[in-house]
Amino acid sequence: MTEEKIFAEGFSFKRSENAPEFVVGRLSLKVDEAIAFIKKYEKGGWVNLNVKTARSGNIYVELDTYEPKQASGSSEKPKAKAKPKEENLPF
């Protein structure tokens, strides 16, 4: 099942061949486009983006549309495991 890619408008990521090894790259934002994109796609105050490499070798920034599946029938959080009692421990 392939979803259509949503490219992050106003975001640009570039690697620099001359940068030190610890520098991954440079992220640039075109403010007006980036703000409009963020406002359009924010969920709960967040927008998740993925930095990917195309088959052509070009780097691009894409909206992360992944949403974990909700457990059917229950909206409760999983219960924490009970801690064992510390009675009669040999140490």
For residues 6 and 61, is the Cβ–Cβ distance under 8 A? no
The residues, any chain, with a CB within 8 Å of residue 63's CB and separated by 6 or more, are 6, 7, 8, 41, 47, 48, 49, 50
- How far is the C-alpha of 59 from the C-alpha of 38, rounded, in Å? 20
Task: Find, among 44, 69, 39, 51, the residue nearest to 13 by Cα.
Answer: 51
- For the ranges 11-15, 47-51, 52-56, 84-88, the lowest mean pLDDT is seen at 84-88
The pLDDT tens digits for 4-50 are: 999 999 999 999 889 999 999 999 999 999 999 999 999 999 999 99
Give the predicted TM-score (pTM) of the model: 0.67
